Structure 1
Amino acid sequence: MTFHDVRFPVSVAFGSSGGPERRVEVVTLASGREERNALWAGSRRRYDVGLGLRSDDDLHGVIEFFEARGGKLHAFRFRDWLDWKSCPPLAAPTALDQVIGSGDGTATVFALAKTYVSGGQSWRRAIGKPVAGTVQVALDGAPVAPLDHAVDHLTGLVTFTVAPLPGAVISAGFEFDVAVRFDLDQLVFSLADFRAGQVPSIPLVEVLP
């Protein structure tokens, strides 16, 4: 399977449903107490884009997109309208949003990431598909000029021309997409049903690196 660097139609994605999924095994003991074990180290996102279809043209666009991706074969970009920035959805990204590393005087490559924090707990999510032209980087709060670093928009890696000094705080702000694939082998549409208000299910699933 390869990745096609093309985004699913954002107008259809805007009406989609879905979000993060975690796999936890829950065992109920004879006492009634539970034992819970995380089967996945992190989360995986699932979406259904059928709810975003609003017209015959939308249907046609999704069919074209499905055929060009070979169904499940090739992954692609998807904008999760509830979680697509290094900051909350209604805010504007800044270079101070997310700490992505600390300099040691040697390392020049750092990976974009977003940290989710609640109640003293946190989870760090690797960001592998930043949006071109949106990544801002800072060292100890000072913006880094574009000539002094490069961003790989297919891996989320930031490469500095000169290694940051030991202890330097590296932060970044960005927009990002999710790498997903179709999670069905056949698109089943009935134009009559669609015009009568019945929405088809078109599931997508995140492709983890």
Structure 2
Amino acid sequence: MGFHDVRFPDAIARGATGGPEYSTDIIAVASGFEQRNINWQAARARYDIGTGIRTREQMAEVIAFFRARKGRAYGFRFRDWTDFEAAGQAMLATANSLIWQLVRRYPSGPGEDVRLITKPEVGSVIVRVSGSPIGVTVDHLTGRVTFPSAPGATPYADFRFDVPCRFDTDHLPVVATAFHLQQISSIPIVEIRT
């Protein structure tokens, strides 16, 4: 899978619509009871960036970004302005006691959804063990954090993050209605699992 470690333009991303989606099959029987089958344990975000384009210059920026990613061929970083910061998040242990994974936790009632964070923003990760900041090495392409020695207690992290996405189309249907006015109905992008 190809991934370009570059962020989609923030000014356009701020006007995007979208958010998390799941895949669930629902089978209803004649009595009205249902059987629900969860196909994905983790949500996958979907956005439409067409709603964020406001100027001719922004359209040109999107066209250049689309061409550089070759449509659906290469992934990129996308800032979801509704969900890009996390504070005090208990990290996830891996098989190696020196390596921990950044996660974003979404508690609600007795349940909790845990999202793997694979694209933390460079310079934004602060890790604490027993309340004290500790120096670590952060892989900004995987979200894995390496400690100099085993932390001895669950580490917690504060960070900002991007969503790894790709265009969900190989065609940009741009309509030039006038020199300074261009329209586009939709430009879908979708989260990729990295």
TM-score interval, smaller chain:
over 0.9
Following superposition, which runs of at least 4 residues in structure 1 exceed 2 angstroms of deviation? 101-104, 193-200
| Counterpart pick for 2:140 among 139, 153, 174 | 153
Shift of 1:169: 2.1
| Counterpart pick for 1:110 among 72, 79, 100 | 100
| Counterpart pick for 1:140 among 119, 123, 130 | 130
- How many residues matched? 194
2:33 and 2:133 mapped to 1: Cα distance? Answer: 52
Identify the residue that residue 98 of structure 1 maps to in structure 2: 89
SS of 2:37's partner is: strand
- C-alpha change, 1:61 and 1:28, in structure 2 (3 Å) is same
Shift of 1:21: 0.5
Unaligned runs of 5+ in 2: none
- C-alpha change, 1:102 and 1:18, in structure 2 (3 Å) is closer
- Structure showing the higher strand proportion among its residues: 2
Unaligned runs of 5+ in 1: 87-92
1:200 and 1:158 mapped to 2: Cα distance? Answer: 41
- Please tell me whether residue 69 in structure 1 is matched to residue 60 in structure 2: no
TM value normalised by structure 2: 0.94
Aligned amino acid, residue 98 of structure 1: Q
Aligned amino acid, residue 160 of structure 2: E
Contact kept? 1:84, 1:176, Cα under 8 Å: yes
1:186 and 1:33 mapped to 2: Cα distance? Answer: 42
2:145 and 2:54 mapped to 1: Cα distance? Answer: 38
TM value normalised by structure 1: 0.88
2:179 and 2:185 mapped to 1: Cα distance? Answer: 7
Contact kept? 2:45, 2:190, Cα under 8 Å: yes
Aligned amino acid, residue 173 of structure 1: D
Greater mean deviation of Cα atoms: 16-25 or 191-200: 191-200
- Please tell me whether residue 16 in structure 1 is matched to residue 16 in structure 2: yes
Contact kept? 1:24, 1:38, Cα under 8 Å: yes
2:39 and 2:149 mapped to 1: Cα distance? Answer: 40
Q: CA RMSD in A?
A: 2.0
Contact kept? 1:103, 1:164, Cα under 8 Å: no
Aligned amino acid, residue 149 of structure 1: V
Contact kept? 2:120, 2:160, Cα under 8 Å: yes
Contact kept? 1:103, 1:170, Cα under 8 Å: no
Aligned amino acid, residue 161 of structure 2: F
Shift of 1:142: 1.1
